[in-house]
Chains A and B, each alone.
Chain A
Amino acid sequence: MKKLFLILVAIGFSITTYAQQTVSGTVLEEGTDIPLLGVSVLVKGTSSGASTDFDGNYSISDVDNDATLVFSYLGYKTQEVLVAGQSTINVSLETDAQGLDEVVVTALNIQRDKESLGYSISQVSSEEVNVARENNVMNSLSGKVSGLQITQSNTGVDGSSRVLLRGITTISGSNRPLVVVDGIPISNGSGGAGGGGGIDRGDALSDINPDDVASISVLKGAGAAAAYGSLGMNGVILVTTKSGAKKDGVGISLNSSFSFTDVALTPDFQNEYGSGAFGDFAPINADGRPVLDYPFSWSWGPKMEGQTYTNWLGQQDTFSPNPKKNPYKEFYQTGFTMSNTVAFEGRSDKGSFRLAITDEDGQGIVRNNTLAKQTFSIRGTTKLSDKFSVDGKMTYLTSKVRNRPQLAEGSGNTALQLSLMPRDIRLEDVANNTINASGEEIKWNLDNTFNNPYWALENAGNLDEKDRFQGFLSANWDLGSKFNITAKSGMDYIVYDFTNWGATGARAISNGLGSYSHDSGKSRIWNSDILATYSTNISDFKITTSVGSTYRNEFNSSRNIWGNDAKVDDFYRISNYKNSFSNENVSKKGIYSFYALGQFSYGGYLYFDATIRNDNSSALPKANNSYWYHSENMSVLFSKMLGISSNILSQGKLRGSFAKVGNDTSPYRTQAVYNVDQTVTLPYTVASISGSLPSFDLKPETSESWEVGADLGFLNNRIQLDFTYYETNTTDQIMAVPISGTTAYSSKVINAGKIQNKGYEAQLNLVPIDSDDFTWDLGLNFTKSNSKVISLNEGLERISLGSLWTASVEARPGQEFGTIYGNDFLRDNFGRKIIGNDGLAKRGDRIALGNINPDWYGGISSKFRYKNISLSSLISIQQGGEYYSYGRGYRMFFGTDERSLVGRESGIVENGINEFTGFENDVAASAFLKQFTDIFANEVATDLIMDASNVKLREVALTYDFPQTMLRGSFIQSASLSAVGRNLFFLYNAAGDIDPEATYSSGPTSTAFEHSSLPSTRSYGVNLKINF
């Protein structure tokens, strides 16, 4: 040992006999002179080198006089400098905007060169989300990223959105990607109402302030997300917020947006026939009002030709077409959204900070539906010593949404009421007649499940208040140049109060007694992790290895109180209700994880990553609560490896990835318990057993996925093509499978089922024109994704994933996931309808009528820039996919839809054969009876299946950057003004008058159903950005 040491010393000494010296210097960014941290400075041909510190300084000892230093840094052009005896070498690195050398934020917030990644990742810049600003930042990603499907529901201001990355992989899971803000996974549930009504209380993603976003990375496959463990099974959306680190000195920036929202698409109404049935007026009741029950309260009465008749209020009136043709345009107003952000940012040699405040106010198309939201954000990083730095953030958000609209079959759904109201009723009469002398709601319809929409506006409502705190503290400790430890702890804490009330006097609301409810609760997700990283270079090999550990704690508690039978009118507190009820619930879950990551690269063209992770969850039985997974990613820059440097093929990369991910479940599914029923009057105790049977031997579910892809650049990267093929198989899925009710239970939690999800996605970016004054960027993306149910639990034929009226969306073995089933007409072997002697078709079998998944979807984005003016636009495209519109069905059998005009006078001769004679049917059935029988009595869904294909102009932004010459002398550094529009119009919509995105919830299969949705909206406005 001692000898070896001596030999080494001798060799070392002999080397130092060459002329050697210490070289030091500073590395800055060219143009801005910002010091660059972590620039690799290597002595060419050796393994010795250093990296720059926080101030851009480096120092290397024992450098040969004739050596060459190589300065390389992600996102910058590599520079080589001959030492030639200099002891100080200062370098300015030029940024490398070209193509594939993109730096992206990857899992665990590790910045990586995109070319080194073995999986597909897309990054979206802040301008793409904060110019044409959306309350829910996810909506801004729609159509921009391949593999990402966003469906924005029509549920009022601050509604939720359905977010899917690469389609559906689990039968009963949320399938929503994990959202990570600055390294902290946040809560991310879907929202929405059920088919029977309710409201959409939004999702957690609408709380991400677009103005604070620096960039968004979309990690699509499990390979990219494996470092997040089970949470990342559905992909990850990484949001990095602004930290102020890019700004030199101190600056102030302003971002102001104002936009109008108005009604863009409404159903087509007929305006020829008014209330009544079978072409006649309704009989008149003893009270002088017509019979307001079905079918007379439908629009199947006489033609409106100016006759005198008794209207719904019992007054003599003229029966004539509605002068205002469309009740939606009359009832709904133009809403607005206004947002203002002021941010103070700065940096010094010791750190950086950003302080920002955003105020957002909005009003929806329903006049009492408003949003007020304020976000405060503080972010700071500081360097306590050369080796130790801390970074922290606190974001506080408070939001108040008033009167989230009732949806679907809810009695207060204004769209349902308006769309079914007999066509002779004038809306101003409805508005002026809401309450009678005895304080009861006046309606046009006896059906006590409906409200008068104007009564509901004044007398029923809700208030949704939320305070949300997100913050983290992280410390980074460099132990020498190769070893580094980062520790981080962060939380997402939400407190909410939701009150909902209805006045007395409306039969739809607790039989006229009035009702009140108040839900309050809090939820907290706390993540703490520590990661130790060691990196080293061995000749042409670069190796980085990390080990880490995370503890995640989820806590939720909620309390609900509700009551009915008000003592005093218009007073909404629980003490005012004669009957009151309450409920409380607590849920806790903990997961701790250990993981190791390794990255190996060779020669700058061969990259290999591997991840291994172990999770331990309290939601699984003790015997199965620990589970492992891993991922391997590989990337080859074959153009660099083979030394190809032609102008035609400028960059070429092949990549591949494999990952195996496990997943746990929600807490308390593995224990049999008795619930103690809340009773008020009973002298004895009542306990009940939940309908969902637990599983005592639940194991984690498993998802295995792989992907291969290529990133190619042509003509100096003016043409770039990314292509990925992926496949995911998810097995042992944890789900509460619906079981036969004859077991006395409704579901059992088991591991079962297999789903295969595969598809391909492509992104093509073109720069057709690139000159100093004029550039044109064109981006096209395309995704095709299919999920197939390979198997369910043995003996189980299907799982219903949701239903509306009699249509359901189901998983059946061998079928595509999300197939819509419903009753068809009775048909013969040739598919002809079998018609009765009354001329009406009959109900046939329940069959597959469509599927929610599009054949493919994509987007076209374009950005022209001429000098200081740029015009960007985005078109989204969906081909195929179906949904069931019960709203259309309702309007058809209520006779308000324009399509219900067919055969009003002559009847409808249904195509088909007579059930007895087999001859072509020639009996005309009344149009009313046909619609009612097909849709309501026979529950036939066939005619209500809509094609979801559409092409939509999603976004247009015209931006003017004020030229520096104009701003010179003022204290303004830069400014830009944009005119923006979102969701402007359909270029093509197969269903005509229904928006295929108009769902009432945002769960995985929510796009299967439309039910009298609020009209689709478009918004247009201006955005002003000023930096001081």
Chain B
Amino acid sequence: MKNINNIIKNTVVIAVIGMLFISCEKHLEDLYDNPNAVTTIDDSALFTKAVRSLFQGTTDNGSSHFAGMHAHYYVAGSTWRAPDQYGDGHDGDYNSILNGGYSGTIRHIEEVLQLTTTEGTQNNVRNAMANVIAVLGYAKITDAFGDVPYTEGGKGKSEDILQPKYDTQESIYKDLISRLTNSISILKSADPALGYPDSDPIFNNDLDKWVRFANSVRLRLAMRLRFADSALSQSTVTQCLSNPLMEGPEHDAFMIETEGTGNAWFTRRTGFPSIKMSTMLIDQLQGTADPRLSVFVSEDGNGQYSGMVNGLTDVAFGGSDFANKSDMGLALSSSDSKLYMITAAETWLLRAEAVLAYDNDPVAANAMFRMGIETSLEQWEVDPADIATFLASPAASLAGINDEEQIGTQMWLALTPNYFESWTHIRRTGYPAIPVRTAPELHQGVTNGIMPSRFLYSSFELGSNSANAQEAISRQGANKIDTPVWWDKN
């Protein structure tokens, strides 16, 4: 009997355990789903993310910590000044710049591109708009590093590519231009209802402005190729000129950051690091009585505009009275200061350069040069009387001697505060000339005093995507900051 009892008891125990097993399987399924996020979403929410990341990128580490000082707009204080000395000990920064380029705009726009071409959520208008954003995202990455992953880049999720191959900058540029051409032709005749009616942070879904935007970006990229692939550059410019371009500040692509503390320059002006505007910028604006002086530069404690010399050695910096120099202007560094992607002023100046270079038409070039200046002054809401005065001054007309330099210098001013694009512009054209540093109080860095040409592939990238990165280096040249990128022939 005792044995039978035990058998019954054992059976009960096993039965109880068996029941547990079945009910638990169901229970585990209930726990599987992540309650903190969603598994599907309309691509508009990812589009806004990508666009916002793109604009936020104009104040990112590469733009503010490197490009702004390389392009001699300002000098940062404290330890933030280091890149101004042309050193290359910035592995962590290079890594964050490379990763940041892909993780913001590219990660989300690739998802949009995939969703807008997937059965069920397919939409060629949205796809065309997304392509413009993707082009801007990729152009900035390749301008910063040279060869970068493009055809396989940004496809960690969509195609599970964890070690993407690098593409040559030449092939990237060619594809970017053709993507824009394709987008422009779609957007010119698109139904706005198929765009992003309530989710366009730039133009509120105004497709006419989108066409001008995409076409102006195409003009920028076309001129980038001027010294590297003149034929493609010229034929693309011709296409651009036969389509609408940005013409006035109302066409400008900008965004005002309203989340958090707003424009990142606000906290940089008021907090860490302190930023002082450069002697080069102040001298240019003061020397030409440019009304943008008071826009870009604040007066110092004595009511003067006093600039910092870029590239000082530590000893010279110590004696430079840095703390008492002019801060960045409030129009550039308030929490609601606009973040600019591309402007009509830039577009006019690109056209001036194009007309001069390809049509050899100094008269037309001068007209466009003056439009560029006028548009830039309007963009900064300069008083119309002051605009007229400045347009009457010699600085506002091409003299026929150093036209390229005049255009280049005005481009430098007009690109403010898009510092990254401005550094790229200087690298391409050589204007305004950034003097080679030879004076003893200036730091020569690792470039013999010449403005750096690119960022380095970080040691993390060299470790995590080794073979592909090494292949790019063997093709492009040593992984140094003075190795020029493909379009950089000056």
Select the stretch in B232-240, B461-469, B477-485 that faces chain A.
Answer: B461-469
CB–CB A685/B102 < 8 A: no
Encoded as 1 (CB less than 8 Å from any B CB) or 0, chain A from 564 to 587 comes to: 100000000000000100001111
> In chain B between 319 and 367, which residues have their CB closer than 8 angstroms to a CB of chain A?
319, 321-324
Is A602 positioned at the interface, with any CB of B under 8 Å from its CB?
no
**Option from B17, B103, B162, B465 in Cβ contact (under 8 Å) with A594:** B17
CB–CB B464/A685 < 8 A: no
Closest to B91 in A: A806
Chain B min CB distance to A155 (Å): 25
Select the stretch in B77-85, B124-132, B186-194, B243-251 that faces chain A.
Answer: B77-85
Q: How far is the CA of A317 from the CA of B98 in the complex (A)?
A: 50
Q: How far is the CA of A672 from the CA of B107 in the complex (A)?
A: 14
Given contacts A507-B272, A846-B459, contact A677 B49 (CB under 8 A): yes
Closest to A292 in B: B323
- Total A-B pairs, Cβ < 8 A: 263
Q: How far is the CA of A283 from the CA of B321 in the complex (A)?
A: 8
Chain B min CB distance to A193 (Å): 19
> In chain B between 24 and 48, which residues have their CB closer than 8 angstroms to a CB of chain A?
24-25, 27-29, 31-42, 44-46, 48
CB–CB A674/B45 < 8 A: yes
CB–CB A551/B157 < 8 A: no
**Option from A511, A616, A680, A742 in Cβ contact (under 8 Å) with B461:** A742
**Option from A277, A293, A929 in Cβ contact (under 8 Å) with B77:** A293
For the complex, would chain B's binding face be called helix, strand, loop or mixed by DSSP majority? helix
Q: How far is the CA of A286 from the CA of B303 in the complex (A)?
A: 13
Is A172 positioned at the interface, with any CB of B under 8 Å from its CB?
no
Encoded as 1 (CB less than 8 Å from any A CB) or 0, chain B from 434 to 477 comes to: 00000000000000000000000001110111110000000000
CB–CB A674/B461 < 8 A: no
CB–CB B272/A551 < 8 A: no
Chain B neighbourhood of A681, CB < 8 A: 258-259
Q: How far is the CA of A748 from the CA of B160 in the complex (A)?
A: 10
Chain A neighbourhood of B101, CB < 8 A: 741
CB–CB B36/A671 < 8 A: no
Closest to B314 in A: A295
Is A638 positioned at the interface, with any CB of B under 8 Å from its CB?
no
CB–CB A590/B164 < 8 A: no
Encoded as 1 (CB less than 8 Å from any A CB) or 0, chain B from 149 to 186 comes to: 10001111100011110000000000000000000000
CB–CB B322/A674 < 8 A: no
CB–CB A740/B465 < 8 A: yes
Is A795 positioned at the interface, with any CB of B under 8 Å from its CB?
yes
CB–CB B38/A745 < 8 A: no
Is B140 positioned at the interface, with any CB of A under 8 Å from its CB?
no
Chain A min CB distance to B325 (Å): 11
CB–CB B156/A687 < 8 A: no
Chain A neighbourhood of B33, CB < 8 A: 671
Chain B neighbourhood of A594, CB < 8 A: 17, 21
Is A127 positioned at the interface, with any CB of B under 8 Å from its CB?
no
Encoded as 1 (CB less than 8 Å from any B CB) or 0, chain A from 277 to 306 comes to: 110001101100001111110000000000
Is B489 positioned at the interface, with any CB of A under 8 Å from its CB?
no
Chain B min CB distance to A566 (Å): 14
CB–CB A743/B164 < 8 A: yes
Q: How far is the CA of A801 from the CA of B245 in the complex (A)?
A: 50
Q: How far is the CA of A564 from the CA of B21 in the complex (A)?
A: 51
CB–CB A689/B318 < 8 A: no
Q: How far is the CA of A618 from the CA of B272 in the complex (A)?
A: 46
CB–CB A687/B463 < 8 A: no
Closest to B257 in A: A681
CB–CB B89/A843 < 8 A: yes
Chain A min CB distance to B316 (Å): 11
Chain A neighbourhood of B201, CB < 8 A: 682, 684
CB–CB B79/A936 < 8 A: yes
Encoded as 1 (CB less than 8 Å from any B CB) or 0, chain A from 794 to 812 comes to: 0111101000001000000
Q: How far is the CA of A158 from the CA of B324 in the complex (A)?
A: 46
Select the stretch in A44-52, A446-454, A753-761, A946-954 that faces chain B.
Answer: A446-454
**Option from B10, B29, B156, B315 in Cβ contact (under 8 Å) with A743:** B156
> In chain A between 345 and 383, which residues have their CB closer than 8 angstroms to a CB of chain B?
none
CB–CB B464/A740 < 8 A: yes
CB–CB A744/B107 < 8 A: yes
CB–CB B154/A744 < 8 A: yes
Chain A min CB distance to B192 (Å): 16
Given contacts A588-B35, A672-B157, contact A616 B24 (CB under 8 A): yes
CB–CB B35/A743 < 8 A: no
Closest to A668 in B: B34
Closest to B148 in A: A742
Is A938 positioned at the interface, with any CB of B under 8 Å from its CB?
yes
Closest to B198 in A: A684
Q: How far is the CA of A675 from the CA of B36 in the complex (A)?
A: 7
Is A480 positioned at the interface, with any CB of B under 8 Å from its CB?
yes
Q: How far is the CA of A277 from the CA of B314 in the complex (A)?
A: 10
CB–CB B24/A551 < 8 A: yes
CB–CB A589/B77 < 8 A: no
Chain B min CB distance to A993 (Å): 25
Chain A min CB distance to B416 (Å): 23
Chain B neighbourhood of A92, CB < 8 A: none
Is A739 positioned at the interface, with any CB of B under 8 Å from its CB?
yes
CB–CB B28/A625 < 8 A: yes
Chain A min CB distance to B38 (Å): 5
Q: How far is the CA of A936 from the CA of B78 in the complex (A)?
A: 12
Chain B neighbourhood of A795, CB < 8 A: 162-163, 466-467
CB–CB B162/A748 < 8 A: yes
CB–CB A480/B259 < 8 A: no
Chain A neighbourhood of B459, CB < 8 A: 846
CB–CB A480/B2 < 8 A: yes
CB–CB B156/A673 < 8 A: no
CB–CB B20/A592 < 8 A: yes
**Option from B45, B95, B108 in Cβ contact (under 8 Å) with A741:** B95
CB–CB A285/B157 < 8 A: no
CB–CB B164/A797 < 8 A: no
Closest to A846 in B: B459
Q: How far is the CA of A54 from the CA of B255 in the complex (A)?
A: 79
Is A398 positioned at the interface, with any CB of B under 8 Å from its CB?
no
Is B261 positioned at the interface, with any CB of A under 8 Å from its CB?
yes
Chain B neighbourhood of A796, CB < 8 A: 463-464
> In chain B between 118 and 148, which residues have their CB closer than 8 angstroms to a CB of chain A?
148
Given contacts A479-B6, A485-B13, contact A685 B39 (CB under 8 A): no
CB–CB A686/B49 < 8 A: yes
Chain A neighbourhood of B85, CB < 8 A: 937
Chain A min CB distance to B471 (Å): 13
Chain B neighbourhood of A688, CB < 8 A: 46, 49, 108
Chain A min CB distance to B136 (Å): 15
Chain A neighbourhood of B99, CB < 8 A: 741, 746
Chain A min CB distance to B337 (Å): 16
Chain B neighbourhood of A667, CB < 8 A: 31, 34
CB–CB A929/B314 < 8 A: yes
Q: How far is the CA of A740 from the CA of B155 in the complex (A)?
A: 11
Q: How far is the CA of A579 from the CA of B95 in the complex (A)?
A: 31
Is A918 positioned at the interface, with any CB of B under 8 Å from its CB?
no
CB–CB A674/B44 < 8 A: no
CB–CB B260/A285 < 8 A: no
Is A864 positioned at the interface, with any CB of B under 8 Å from its CB?
no
Point out residues on B near A: beta carbons under 8 Å: 2, 5-6, 9-10, 13, 16-17, 20-21, 24-25, 27-29, 31-42, 44-46, 48-49, 52, 77-79, 82, 85, 87, 89, 91-92, 95, 98-103, 106-108, 110-111, 148-149, 153-157, 161-164, 198-201, 258-261, 267, 270-274, 301-302, 314-315, 318-319, 321-324, 459-461, 463-467
Question: Can you report 25 residue pairs joining A to B where beta carbons are below 8 Å apart?
Answer: A282-B318, A293-B77, A295-B318, A448-B271, A449-B272, A511-B261, A532-B10, A551-B20, A579-B260, A586-B35, A592-B21, A672-B39, A681-B259, A684-B201, A687-B46, A742-B164, A746-B103, A748-B156, A748-B162, A795-B162, A795-B466, A796-B464, A806-B91, A806-B92, A937-B87
The 10 closest A-B pairs by CB, nearest first: A741-B99, A743-B156, A673-B37, A687-B45, A740-B465, A618-B31, A744-B107, A448-B272, A681-B258, A668-B34
Given contacts A282-B318, A796-B463, 20 further A-B pairs with CB under 8 A are A293-B274, A295-B314, A447-B79, A448-B273, A549-B20, A579-B261, A590-B24, A590-B27, A592-B28, A616-B28, A673-B39, A682-B258, A684-B44, A684-B45, A684-B200, A741-B100, A742-B149, A742-B153, A745-B107, A748-B162
